[in-house]
Amino acid sequence: MSAETDTAQTETARTDTAQTDTAQTETAQTLDAVADPPVDGSELIRFDQVTKRFGDNTVLDRLDFSVDSGKHVTLIGPSGSGKTTILRLLMTLATPDEGTIKVGGAYLTHEERGGKLVRAGEKHVREVRKNIGMVFQQFNLFPNMKVLRNITEAPVTVLGLSKDEAEERARELLELVGLREHVDKYPGQLSGGQQQRVAIARALAMRPRVLLLDEVTSALDPELVVGVLDVLRDIARSTDITMLCVTHEMNFARDISDQVLMFDSGRVIESGPPQKIFSDPEQERTREFLGAVL
Ligand SMILES: Nc1ncnc2c1ncn2[C@@H]1O[C@H](COP(=O)(O)OP(=O)(O)OP(=O)(O)O)[C@@H](O)[C@H]1O
């Protein structure tokens, strides 16, 4: 666990990633400029018979699910049902005990060598993971770096962008998240909501094909939640980026999701469009869960 936690912190700091009501068209343009265009409708993420255990706790149990390119998918389910674990597996902050995960058609956990599927090496993992950005509950910004550098660091060191290119992209993204005037501040000089918007910009600066959002407003004071959710709503509405989202904000989930997956006991027990899941779920377990949170 500690190894995973350590990796998590380093990776979080390195790879985190996307805004306010500055014009929507600007959002679309900026993201067109920073994200690879998705191949419409193609499968971007696939979990195939994925099992994850922590000791004798089987958190994910032969889990199958997929997410198509450009879709916004929200994971819901009781506490401990494995939602965050799924995002952590995608970030390779944890590895599955069994099963395979594919991103953009390439195995994340494995690679093919000599016609055989073997555990992926670090270089392969790094390449596949470039497709993925994640925003965490705790913003995980580098406290000793100014906002601009927080955003440019990974594009320069991981993607090999020049400092000028990275800064141009960072400024566009800061405009997108409504923080242009805070470029020279340190994270500690910003509110939690502003820090989280920097973290969103930082994730997008890596041009991910998929943005993972893990309860990104849970650590915020209530009055700061709206600004962050508005930024994300705008990104969801006006761009083609794929989103996989864990949230307790059910109205937000209803607004942005194409599909909602309900988890229980390590499996998807029900899935469908938000209108169906939130108003007329088929499973008793889903009804109970929604009854408690809505
Ligand atoms: N590194 C770890 N070591 C041991 N157990 C872990 C670890 N990470 C997660 N777990 C356990 O795995 C289970 C699933 O955790 P996870 O955080 O994925 O659930 P969740 O559905 O996201 O819950 P919540 O809604 O409360 O955030 C929990 O029982 C948790 O205690």
Q: Check pLDDT > 80 for residue 18.
A: no
232, part of any domain? yes
- 294 pLDDT band, cuts 50/70/90, is confident
The packing angle between helices 2-15 and 147-157, to 10°, is 100
Give the integer Cα–Cα distance in Å for 135 and 164: 24
E-strand stretches of the chain? 43-54, 57-68, 72-76, 98-103, 106-107, 110-113, 116-119, 132-135, 210-214, 242-246, 259-264, 267-272
Instruction: Work out how many domains the chain is built from and give that number.
Output: 1
Most informative mutation of 4, 11, 59 for ligand 1 (most atoms within 8 A of CB) = 59
pLDDT tens for 149-175 read: 999 999 999 999 999 999 999 999 999
Give the integer Cα–Cα distance in Å for 186 and 115: 50
pLDDT tens for 86-123 read: 999 999 999 999 999 999 989 998 888 888 888 888 88
Q: Residue 144: which domain range?
A: 9-40+71-81+132-293
Q: What percent of the chain has pLDDT over 90?
A: 73
Residue 288: give its domain's CATH number: 3.40.50.300
What DSSP line would sit under 148-171, residue for residue? HHHHHHHHHHTT---HHHHHHHHH
pLDDT tens for 246-289 read: 999 999 999 999 999 999 989 999 999 999 999 999 999 999 99
pLDDT number for residue 41: 65
Tokens 């799924």 locate to 86
* First-to-last C-alpha distance (Å) of the chain: 33
Most informative mutation of 7, 9, 81 for ligand 1 (most atoms within 8 A of CB) = 81
- Residue 63 Cβ inside 6 Å of ligand 1? The answer reads no
Q: Check pLDDT > 80 for residue 26.
A: no
57, part of any domain? no
Give the integer Cα–Cα distance in Å for 157 and 73: 30
Nearest CA to ligand 1 atom 18: 82
ipTM of this complex prediction, to 2 decimal places: 0.97
